[in-house]
Amino acid sequence: MTGAAGGPLSTSRVSLGRDEIRATGAWIAAAQHGSGAIPWDVVGDTAGKVDAWDHVESAMGLLVAGFDDHADAAYDWLARAQRPDGTWPIRWRADDRGMEVLDPGVDPNMGAYVAVGVRHHHLVRGDDGFLQRMWPVVDAALDAVCAMRLPGGGIAWGAGAGGVATTALVTGSASIHHSLVCGLELADIVREVRPEWEACRAALASALRRYVAGDAGDFEHRTRWSMDWYYPVLGGAVRGPAAQERLASRWDDFVVPGLGLRCVDDRPWVTGAETCELALALQALGRREEAADLVADMQHLREEDGSYHTGFVFADNKRWPIERSTWTSGAVLLAVDALTDLTPGAAVFRV
């Protein structure tokens, strides 16, 4: 077991022992399809939809919890599922008969995230053989993403039968920025040069900083969503005083003390993964205690088997939607790792 070999983890109010970490990893592993694909939602005992981003988030969680073979199977499946143009379908459904494509379109954020996963894997395991196998996958994925760059520096939010979108989404583009940073780090390790990725990253960072400063540019302006608020910080494009000001600007709109983070500002609904992502952003800024408090606050979503419910409607005192999500469990494990340095992979969100 690679990740959870130490004793109890404790930072401020976060305290997850290795048995609890192992249980969460085991729950993700149990949801994994025989092919290696990890469905992102589990309703009752039925595992359902698969997408590349949430699949990678779950694979990273597996590695933190010490389920190395399951993580490797997840990446092997992702490599097999990649299309010749470097993309993946937006969504599949997994069942005993195999995989059915539900949406064949392209979401560049989902495709780019493989670079974060592979960088995380290499940080944790230092496995050069794995990196060599996965490098062509990352290479093709990021080439496809950079081809969707818009004139203002943002990345088109998607493509399908109607062509490529003409606008960008803040959350997706900010996540892509993180993916490009990780991809460039991988390129250095394998001694490859990708100046087009660096040009795309720099233009994207500049566009996101302008957005935060008030110039929407390519981006759709969606102030309702908490992810659009914190993701420019989480993805590393915004740091320093601008990042602190960004988080301060809407903290009271989104953070519900004792429960976690609202998904949207106009609903009494907190979600576990978003709470942990904000914790990752805070930790990258050195605000460790606040980050740890957020992770502790969302533990009301945990079940005895180590799984996590997606969200909670606090006005009704009900969990909603009626599902447990592998990616929420993965986000918890990544946040705990970042706060406690359980594995070297904790560094992947400190871009």
In the chain, how many domains are there?
1
Structure tokens at 242: 């601008």
H/E/C letters for each residue in 105-141?
CECHHHHHCHHHHHHHHHHHHCCHHHHHHHHHHHHHH
The verdict on residue 1 lying in a domain is: no
pLDDT at 120: 98
pLDDT at 114: 98
The verdict on residue 45 lying in a domain is: yes
The verdict on residue 100 lying in a domain is: yes
pLDDT along the chain (351 residues), means of 10: 36 74 97 92 72 98 98 97 97 78 96 98 98 98 98 96 95 98 98 98 98 96 96 98 98 98 98 98 96 96 97 96 95 96 96 82
Largest CA distance in the chain: 55
Give residue 20's domain range. 9-344
pLDDT at 45: 59
| CATH code for the domain of 145 | 1.50.10.10
The verdict on residue 139 lying in a domain is: yes
pLDDT at 3: 35
What is the 8-class DSSP label of residue 103? E
338 neighbors 330 (Cβ within 8 angstroms) = no
The verdict on residue 312 lying in a domain is: yes
Give CA separation, 324 vs 18, 73, 211, 264, 285, in Å: 21, 22, 34, 19, 30
Cβ neighbours for 338, distance < 8 A, ≥ 6 positions apart: 279, 280, 283, 291, 346, 349, 350
d(CA 4, CA 9): 10
pLDDT at 43: 67
pLDDT at 47: 59
pLDDT at 44: 61
125 neighbors 67 (Cβ within 8 angstroms) = no
The verdict on residue 41 lying in a domain is: yes
186 neighbors 115 (Cβ within 8 angstroms) = yes
The verdict on residue 4 lying in a domain is: no
pLDDT at 66: 98
pLDDT at 252: 98
The verdict on residue 79 lying in a domain is: yes
